[in-house]
Chains A and B, each alone.
Chain A
Amino acid sequence: MSEIVIVGVNHRTAPVEVRERLAFPADRVGGALRGLRERNGITEGVILSTCNRVEVCVLSDEGYVGVDHVKEFLSGFHGFPVAELSDHLYHHLGEDAVRHLFRVSSSLDSMVLGEPQILGQVKDAYGYACEFKAIGPVLDKFFTKAFSVAKRVRTETRVANSAVSVSYAAVELAKKILGDLPDKTVMLIGAGEMCELAARHLLSAGAKGILVTNRTFERAVRLAEEFEGTPVRFEELATHLKRADIILSSTGAPHFILKREDVDAVIRIRRNRPMFFIDMAVPRDIDPDANEIDNVYVYDIDDLNNVIETNLEERQREAERAEEIVLAEVAGFRRWLDSRQVTPTIVSLRRKFDEVRQAEVAKALSALGSADPKTRKVVESLASSILNKVLHSPIASLKRETNGRSPMEMVTAVREIFDLPEEEAERAPNAAGSGGEQGGNVGSQ
């Protein structure tokens, strides 16, 4: 029985010192995949290597033994003693492996739940496997399915939807208040790492331009250059404030640099065009009372942290729904895996009985001596019709999809009852399918 096997390490099972030793740099993946496939009993393979996880997924002819093959491969390739390696490695087989890859692709197994990069990384891994012809029909279907599961999770749950960092939360809020950003101007007051990061995110989200001000004008000029913005003298803050839709502030001032009256005056000049103040300074730069003015929104660092906390909780809740989707998809994929066994079983069942029929017909004909063509025909048709009638119901049962019973149970039962040879059943689909000829898929994503 061939099984899908996944062996690997991730951020939970191995520290970075171990992960970095096991990583597969892009230029070595091809060689690694070739080495992997040369091992006994491994017919297909994919290698996923990111900074948080290294996983090897293979289709192994020998079930559990495949786990050891992959361990030996990892140890051999990286020169890492197996004994030491085993402490960090986890492995998944069959249905368990299916569930694992579906969860990984859907970012349910990530350090930051729902982070978006992992799906791209899994797609890259699949791309390499296609490029180096290491993938076959089973893993091809498996990975393609994993991508569609990930997409389903993304569209049907909100596991990846809300911001979980301060700077992204700022962008999200800005969009909710101001709508599209391309005609909006950002103003950066003072210099703080978090403010600069938020400004960068706002600009990459499309904000039109940025004004930079600082108590020391040289600093403002330097930062403005970095952001391709306009420096503004701190003393002229009040006159330029009216141009800004989003104001990021983190100065070291001991008191408010913008009082409620200041904001009130500006919003009048702006004819109520909304303003979004993000105050990352402690002590605060902007009078929180300004939040009460119509069309003015003032958020301090605690407010943003609260937003993130709520979002994280939400992701956690959504993850539970995502797990249900994954479970349903695992069951579906399991059925497909099982159904792959049906056709070869029917083929070998027929072949076996055909051999019996031929042998018996030959025996009967030789006992009859020189029979006339008519007798010959009768004997032959008698044998075929008995064979067809006897085989009719087992084949029909194999083909029938019955609720609640996996095709695999039927396959196993039929194999056992009729004592069918194992290996023949395994090879048939590869002969019929396109095993190893997946090169056409390179770059298809």
Chain B
Amino acid sequence: MHTVLLKVTALFYFLGALAYLHFVFTLNERSPKIGRMLLLIGAILHGAGFVARYLAAGYTPITSLFESLSFSAFAIVCVFLGFELRYNLRVLGAFVAPLAFAFSASAAFLPGEVRALAPALDSYWLPVHVMLLFFGNAVFAVAFGAAIMYLLMEKELKRKRFGAIFKRLPSLNILDDINYRCLTIGFPLLTLGIITGSIWAEYAWGSYWSWDPKEVWSLITWFIYAALLHVRMTVGWRGRKAAIFAIAGFCAILFTFLGVNLLLPGLHTYTNLSG
């Protein structure tokens, strides 16, 4: 059931990606609206698939790489749709939808059978810790997308030569606003994610903090975003510098999420390719 739902979800994300890309190429006003509908349907199916898998497995299905990728796609689409409601982001859909498709599709090819949960993961902290961090990451992914758009747009406005980008992107002000909004939402999520993880670690491993590579990199990520939040609030940093920070922060997230799993084995190694 859940594997079928996930495959249909991937199909909807794919169609959504096509709609957004169609907008990017033709600027047809209807395409992003269709794209949004497709992503929304995809997200609903995705949520249903997630619940179905939860019922089948008996635990929150964010423990393998398959499940993590799938859940990241879900979180990113949800966050994007949330921002889309408030800001007319449209073009960002051409970035988010293909990403969601890639994640959910690659997840659909990985071993999808439900396996027994590692004993250390069998805890109520699992959904809290993991979901906080995944939604935090999704918010920062949107900030990352907005930051790239900001830099592209700023370059055109500074050089005063306007090409395809100028017509497709929202205003600098909105892009910077998204950067700030994401920071104020994502940073608490990240912080709470790390704190809950630490509490759980005390139960599971007997220590709040054990300098495991994943912990180290989460801390690095946390410091990057903390610094950005700080300079934004105190010195009034915004625009280009803030965008660069958001990009750096997201690179750190990617490394924490993927790089650490694949390159630096440690206590958190539940999600490598083999399982």
Contact = CB atoms under 8 A, between A and B. Distances in A.
Contacts of B207: none
A225 to B, nearest CB: 31
B157 A176 contact: yes
A177 interface: yes
Interface residues of B, number: 26
Interface stretch (A62-70, A277-285, A303-311, A337-345): A303-311
A307 B239 contact: no
B29 A155 contact: yes
Contacts of A176: 153, 157, 166, 171-172
Contact of B173 (A177, A292, A306): A177
Given A176-B166, A272-B239, A303 B160 contact: yes
A156 interface: yes
Contacts, number: 58
Interface in B232-269: 235-241
B184 interface: no
A177 B158 contact: no
A179 B173 contact: yes
Interface in A149-202: 155-156, 158, 161-162, 173, 175-180
Interface in B161-196: 161-162, 166-167, 170-174, 177
A221 B153 CA distance: 38
A177 B29 CA distance: 22
Contacts of A272: 236-239
Interface string B206-242: 0000000000000000000000000000011111110
Given A155-B28, A297-B158, A271 B236 contact: yes
A366 B199 CA distance: 111
A306 B166 CA distance: 14
A348 interface: no
Contact of B28 (A156, A175, A292): A156
B27 interface: yes
Contacts of A294: 239-241
Interface in A10-69: none
A292 B161 CA distance: 15
A178 B177 CA distance: 11
Nearest to A245: B173
A274 B173 contact: yes
A179 B171 contact: yes
Nearest to B28: A156
Nearest to B236: A271
Contacts of A273: 236, 238
A299 B160 contact: yes
Contacts of A306: 160-161
A294 B235 CA distance: 14
A295 interface: yes
B173 A155 contact: no
A272 B30 CA distance: 36
A162 B28 CA distance: 15
A430 to B, nearest CB: 38
A158 B27 contact: yes
A291 interface: yes
A173 B156 CA distance: 11
Most chain A beta carbons < 10 A, residue from B27, B28, B29, B177: B27
Contacts of B166: 176
A271 B237 CA distance: 7
Contacts of A178: 171-173
Nearest to B27: A158
A297 B162 CA distance: 14
A65 B43 CA distance: 63
A306 B238 CA distance: 28
Most chain A beta carbons < 10 A, residue from B170, B177, B235, B239: B239
A162 B164 CA distance: 12
A260 to B, nearest CB: 15
A274 B239 contact: yes
Interface of B: 26-30, 153, 157-158, 160-162, 166-167, 170-174, 177, 235-241
Give 7 nearest A-B pairs by CB, closest first: A271-B236, A179-B173, A179-B171, A303-B160, A295-B239, A272-B236, A272-B238
18 contacts: A155-B30, A156-B26, A158-B27, A173-B157, A177-B171, A179-B170, A179-B171, A179-B172, A271-B235, A272-B236, A272-B238, A274-B173, A291-B158, A294-B240, A295-B239, A295-B240, A297-B158, A307-B160
